[in-house]
Amino acid sequence: MKLITLATLAAMNVHVEPPPAKYDYPPQQPYKVYVLPIEQVQKKCHITDKRLLGCVPIETLLLKPVAEVYIRNDLDKELFEVVLDHELAHINGWRH
Ligand SMILES: [Zn+2]
């Protein structure tokens, strides 16, 4: 499996938006991170774009006691951490 790196994304002109400081902290509510093949992440996120990196489906924030974070399984470690920070900020209420 070929890993996606930050450099790969830059070459594709795709940028992972860093969260604003006010949302950039470890969530107080429980959450679980699922690392899955892109096809399953697309399904969970209701997003068909193959460049999708991850998401927190809004229904898991509103309807479930444990928030669910989905991240694709072909990211290198550095990019994984960037995407995780981004998604955790969504659990903290960040919308964009
Ligand atoms: Zn986002």
Centre of ligand 1 to C-alpha 30, Å, is: 19
Centre of ligand 1 to C-alpha 80, Å, is: 14
HSE value, Cβ hemisphere, 13 Å, CA-based, for 94: 22
Residue 20 inside a domain? The answer is no
Whether 8 contacts 73, CB under 8 Å: no
Centre of ligand 1 to C-alpha 88, Å, is: 9
Residue 23 inside a domain? The answer is no
Domain that holds residue 35: 6-15+29-91
Q: Which tens digit of pLDDT belongs to each residue from 41-87?
A: 999 999 999 999 999 999 988 888 999 999 999 999 999 999 999 99
Domain count, the chain: 1
Whether 86 contacts 18, CB under 8 Å: yes
Answer yes or no: is pLDDT of 1 > 80.
no
Q: Whole-angstrom Cα distance, residue 80 to residue 73?
A: 9
